[in-house]
């Protein structure tokens, strides 16, 4: 809750303090428009970085060397959260206008900053107005200003990309600017499932190799010449759209070598093989087969096995039992309503299983009540060698009614 309040306060203060700053920027622009644009860009980027830091966002950027230098580009990205804009805008090397939904144009002060930084507002239900917006974006690119679009047209609820809206690649087709796919991961975890509270999250932004529409057009002409009798060839725009979508999906896909975890769990493994809808994942020395829809990519690294430890033979039957236990293990236990001895026994078995399957963090729901259960459980936790730390849950997620246990 505190992070949310601080982030909102900072944003409001920035917009209010920004009123005289906008006037100063206007005066600068009279003599040096480029200086005004760059100073406005850097100020907003700084503000977005501060908000992300307040919200506990940790960022990993991959493939930034793929972004062409000194020329405008069309960034094409998946869209899962408002944080997509803040995080990616803070990474822009030069002036970049975002195409946003028209409702943001009604937000006081924010709309002035957005227009100042060449953002455009798209009316999704008005074809004429949408075309006008695309034409304006084309003019911006011709003037050297990059454009960022979210071609799905709205925020998604899953890691799978939705179909691109018609005309998404028109800007690149008409200007010849390179298309740079961006894959943004885990921004949905920051706020969506627990609004209005923010949750510290590790986010990844990965830039794909640039796609040049002119090269696609040349390839298309060759293909048309070889297939004169086929009337269903893709246009340059459709080819660019298809390739950009394919690249964005590739960046977000689970492939051999990806670090993953089972949804709802914290143990990190490496994908060894993908076969249809299943993947073979190595969790340390243990390999198991998991359905792809149960996995999610992560930037965390798998724990390295202690090579100095004495080697021990584990039968395949025992390994299978451990796989099953790990896959079905739940990281929360609810002992509310139990007697003290029942709760202690349940927690003892729970902690033993958690250590066995390699969990790094679990939660014990004991409620507040008179505090007896909480005291008994914590006295027991102090005696367990495999526990490195325990404390109350964050206030917005249960506070003193839940004990969070970190396992070593």
Note whether 248 and 302 are same-domain residues.
no
Q: Domain for residue 3, yes or no?
A: no
- The β-bridge relationship of strands 57-62 and 201-207 is parallel
pLDDT score of 366 more than 80: yes
What digits encode the pLDDT tens for the residues 130-140?
888 888 999 99
What digits encode the pLDDT tens for the residues 309-357?
444 444 555 555 665 666 677 889 999 888 888 888 899 889 888 887 7
Q: Domain for residue 156, yes or no?
A: yes
Note whether 323 and 378 are same-domain residues.
no
Note whether 297 and 152 are same-domain residues.
no
* The pLDDT of residue 330: 83
| Sign of the dihedral defined by the CA atoms of residues 179, 177, 145, 137, in that order | negative
Of 269, 300, 327, which residue constitutes the final position of a domain? 327
Query: Which residue would you say has higher pLDDT here, 81 or 194?
Result: 81
pLDDT score of 189 more than 50: yes
User: What Rg do the C-alpha atoms of the chain give, in angstroms?
Assistant: 26
Lowest-pLDDT choice from 6-10, 111-115, 216-220, 388-392: 216-220
Lowest-pLDDT choice from 136-145, 295-304, 336-345: 295-304
Which residues fall within 8 angstroms of residue 65, CB to CB, at 6 or more apart?
none
Q: Residue 242 sits in which domain range? A: 59-226+235-252
pLDDT score of 229 more than 50: no
Lowest-pLDDT choice from 1-10, 231-240, 249-258: 231-240
* The pLDDT of residue 231: 46
Q: Residue 90 and residue 50: Cα distance in Å, rounded?
A: 10
Query: Which residue would you say has higher pLDDT here, 125 or 375?
Result: 375
Q: Please, which pLDDT band fits residue 27 given cuts at 50, 70 and 90?
A: very high
CA angle, residues 129, 130, 134, in degrees to nearest 5: 120
Lowest-pLDDT choice from 159-163, 180-184, 296-300: 159-163
Note whether 265 and 242 are same-domain residues.
no
| Sign of the dihedral defined by the CA atoms of residues 331, 337, 340, 346, in that order | negative
Note whether 316 and 391 are same-domain residues.
no
Structural tokens at position 129: 């107005």
Q: Domain for residue 11, yes or no?
A: no
Note whether 317 and 394 are same-domain residues.
no
Lowest-pLDDT choice from 36-50, 84-98, 102-116: 102-116
Note whether 389 and 289 are same-domain residues.
no
Measuring CA to CA, how many Å separate 324 from each of 263, 341, 405? Answer: 15, 28, 23
Note whether 76 and 205 are same-domain residues.
yes
* The pLDDT of residue 9: 92
The residue-averaged pLDDT of 200-207 equals: 88
Q: Residue 328 and residue 203: Cα distance in Å, rounded?
A: 27
Q: Residue 248 and residue 319: Cα distance in Å, rounded?
A: 37
The residue-averaged pLDDT of 85-109 equals: 89
Supply the CATH number for residue 170's domain. Answer: 3.40.1130.10
- The β-bridge relationship of strands 96-101 and 120-122 is parallel
Supply the CATH number for residue 292's domain. Answer: 2.30.30
Q: What is the number of domains present in the chain?
A: 3
Strand partners, 57: 201
Q: Domain for residue 244, yes or no?
A: yes
**pTM recorded for the entire structure:** 0.56
Note whether 320 and 334 are same-domain residues.
no
Q: Please, which pLDDT band fits residue 300 given cuts at 50, 70 and 90?
A: confident
Q: Is the peptide bond before 196 cis (omega within 30 degrees of 0)?
A: yes
Q: Domain for residue 18, yes or no?
A: no
Task: List the one residue out of 261, 214, 216 whose CA is nearest residue 239.
Answer: 216
Q: Please, which pLDDT band fits residue 157 given cuts at 50, 70 and 90?
A: low
């Amino acid at each position: 809750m505190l992070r949310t309040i601080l982030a909102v306060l900072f944003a409001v203060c920035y917009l209010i303090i920004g009123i005289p700053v906008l006037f100063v920027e206007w005066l600068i622009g009279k003599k040096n428009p480029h200086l005004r644009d760059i100073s406005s860009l850097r100020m907003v980027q700084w503000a977005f970085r501060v908000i992300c830091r307040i919200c506990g966002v940790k960022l990993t950027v991959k493939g930034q060397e793929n972004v062409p230098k000194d020329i405008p580009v069309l960034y094409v990205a998946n869209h899962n959260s408002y944080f997509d804009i803040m995080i990616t805008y803070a990474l822009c090397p030069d002036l970049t206008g975002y195409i946003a939904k028209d409702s943001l144009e009604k937000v006081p002060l924010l709309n002035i900053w957005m227009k100042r930084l060449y953002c455009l507002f798209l009316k999704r239900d008005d074809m004429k107005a949408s075309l006008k917006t695309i034409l304006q974006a084309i003019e911006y690119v011709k003037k050297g200003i990059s454009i960022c679009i979210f071609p799905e047209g709205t925020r998604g609820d899953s890691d799978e990309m939705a179909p691109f809206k018609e005309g998404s690649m028109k800007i690149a087709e008409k200007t010849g600017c390179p298309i740079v796919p961006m894959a943004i991961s885990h921004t949905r975890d920051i706020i969506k499932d627990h609004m209005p509270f923010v949750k510290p999250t590790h986010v990844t932004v990965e830039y794909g190799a640039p796609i040049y529409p002119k090269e696609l057009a040349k390839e298309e002409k060759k293909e048309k010449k070889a297939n004169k009798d086929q009337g269903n060839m893709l246009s340059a725009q459709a080819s660019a759209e298809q390739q950009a979508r394919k690249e964005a999906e590739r960046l977000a896909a689970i492939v051999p070598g990806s670090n993953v975890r089972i949804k709802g769990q914290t143990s990190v493994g490496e994908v060894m093989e993908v076969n249809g809808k299943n993947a073979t994942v190595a969790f340390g020395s243990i390999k198991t087969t998991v359905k792809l829809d149960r996995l999610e990519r992560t930037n965390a690294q798998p724990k390295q096995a202690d090579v100095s430890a004495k080697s021990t033979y584990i039968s395949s039957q025992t390994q299978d039992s451990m796989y099953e236990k790990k896959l079905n293990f739940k990281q929360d236990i609810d002992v509310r309503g139990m007697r003290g001895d029942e709760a202690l026994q349940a927690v003892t078995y729970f902690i033993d299983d958690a250590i066995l399957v390699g969990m790094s963090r679990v939660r014990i729901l004991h409620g507040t009540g008179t505090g007896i259960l909480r005291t008994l459980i914590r006295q027991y936790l102090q005696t367990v060698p495999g526990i490195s730390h325990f404390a109350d849950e964050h206030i917005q997620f249960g506070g003193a009614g839940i004990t969070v246990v970190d396992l070593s």
